[in-house]
């Protein structure tokens, strides 16, 4: 088995919006550590971006700047293609708060790489054994219609686990969900799984545990932000 701390391995993302209240969210999991430090980007009420594969740290902020300047997601992706000479190695997805989706998977991404999309969402990944991983994620996202965005995204990532072998450990993960006007956001990350892969460690398991501990506190934090002297 490859060293799980190598820069290669599997990378999974799901991005989505709810045009009704312009909620945006992204969940990621990777065989590399600290995925949240370089792959997810979000501006409240505007768009969410995933930059992965041979990721360029400038792509996410640039894409969001272009969208805030008035470009559509299609125009933004075209601009990235014109200005990044290594786009064949990139995997980039953009979901706007309006529901527009644009995604690019370059042919030089490692192993099986691809994406699937639907109304207001996209699932993408590279370093995968086959397309069944993304198909399972797509089904779970659709089946979870009506659930809160954070739960829906996390469940979508979890649907991939049964399709990944032991050679694809998930060492880091993150969950980011934001809604305009809300004072409390979901912004959680696992930079390195608590236990090593050979001991059954998985960053998604750790992220689920963190999410379930944090979620009941969101109402408390919201009330504190509005008044430090609750009645």
pLDDT band with cut points at 50, 70 and 90 for residue 1:
very low
pLDDT band with cut points at 50, 70 and 90 for residue 198:
confident
Whole-model pTM? Answer: 0.91
pLDDT band with cut points at 50, 70 and 90 for residue 5:
very low
For residue 1, is it within any domain? no
For residue 5, is it within any domain? no
Domain total for the chain? Answer: 1
For residue 231, is it within any domain? no
Mean of pLDDT values over 21-43:
96
Query: Please, are residues 102 and 94 in contact by the beta-carbon 8 Å criterion?
Result: yes
CATH of the domain at 58: 3.60.20.10
Query: Please, are residues 4 and 10 in contact by the beta-carbon 8 Å criterion?
Result: no
pLDDT band with cut points at 50, 70 and 90 for residue 167:
confident
Domain region containing 201: 11-226
For residue 125, is it within any domain? yes
Mean of pLDDT values over 204-218:
94
**In the predicted structure, residue 125 carries a pLDDT above the cut 60:** yes
For residue 43, is it within any domain? yes
Instruction: Determine the Cα–Cα distance for residues 113 and 124; give it in Å rounded to an integer.
Output: 8
**In the predicted structure, residue 162 carries a pLDDT above the cut 60:** yes
Instruction: Determine the Cα–Cα distance for residues 192 and 197; give it in Å rounded to an integer.
Output: 11
What secondary structure does DSSP assign to the chain, as a single string? ---TTSS-S-EEEEEEEETTTTEEEEEEEESSS-GGGTSEEEETTTEEEEEEES--TTHHHHHHHHHHTT--HHHHHHHHHHH-TTGGGEEEEEEETTS-EEEEE-TTSSSEEEEEEETTEEEEEEEESSTHHHHHHHHHHHHTTTS-HHHHHHHHHHTTGGG--TTS---EEEEEEE-TT-S--EEEEESS-SS-GGGT--HHHHHHHHHHHHGGGHHHHHHHHH-SS--
């Amino acid at each position: 088995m490859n060293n799980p701390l190598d820069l290669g391995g599997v990378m999974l993302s799901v991005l989505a919006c709810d045009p009704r209240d312009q909620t945006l969210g992204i969940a990621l999991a990777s065989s590399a550590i600290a995925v949240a430090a370089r792959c997810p980007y979000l501006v409240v009420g505007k768009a969410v971006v995933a930059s992965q594969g041979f990721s360029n740290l400038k792509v996410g902020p640039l894409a969001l700047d272009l969208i805030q300047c008035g470009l559509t997601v299609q125009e933004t992706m075209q601009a990235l293609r014109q200005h990044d000479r290594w786009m064949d190695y990139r995997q980039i997805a953009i979901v706007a708060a309006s529901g527009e989706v644009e995604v690019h998977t370059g042919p030089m991404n490692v192993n099986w790489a691809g994406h699937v999309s639907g109304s207001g969402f996209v699932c993408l990944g590279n370093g995968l054994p086959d397309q069944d991983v993304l198909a399972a994620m797509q089904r779970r996202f659709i089946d979870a219609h009506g659930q809160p965005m954070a739960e829906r995204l996390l469940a979508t990532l979890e649907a991939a686990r049964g399709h990944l072998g032991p050679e694809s450990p998930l060492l880091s993960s993150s969950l980011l969900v934001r809604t305009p006007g809300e004072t409390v956001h979901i912004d959680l990350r696992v930079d390195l799984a608590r236990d090593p892969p050979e001991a059954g460690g998985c960053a998604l398991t750790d992220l689920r545990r963190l999410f379930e501990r944090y979620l009941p506190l969101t109402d408390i934090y919201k009330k504190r932000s509005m008044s430090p002297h609750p009645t």
